[in-house]
Amino acid sequence: MAQVRRTITAAEMDKLSPQERADAIEAGRARSWDDVGDVFKADVLATASELGAQRRARRD
């Protein structure tokens, strides 16, 4: 199950050191489908399916 992560604002990022910013970005990166919420995952898969169908239609 995906965990909900707190959003870091631009103002907060401005107060961080370069290393702290890099660490925050790295911590927010999804490393597997298990890190992604079900609703977002379904949206990504539906979009990929639609784009694939459009591409196949252009080839025919």
DSSP string, 13-60: HHHS-HHHHHHHHHHT---SGGGS-HHHHHHHHHHHHHHHHHHHHHH-
Mean pLDDT over each residue of the chain, to the nearest integer: 91
Q: pLDDT tens-digit profile of 25-42?
A: 998 888 899 988 899 999
- Is 31 a member of any domain? yes
- Is 37 a member of any domain? yes
- Is 16 a member of any domain? yes
Which domain range does residue 39 map to? 10-59
Give 36's contacts (C-beta < 8 A, 6+ positions apart).
2, 30, 44
Question: Is this prediction's pTM over 0.85?
Answer: no
Half-sphere exposure of 6 (CA within 13 A, CB side): 6
- Is 1 a member of any domain? no
Domain count, the chain: 1
Q: How confident is the model at residue 55 (pLDDT cuts 50, 70, 90)?
A: very high
Average of per-residue pLDDT across 43-47: 97
Per-residue model confidence (pLDDT) at position 30:
86
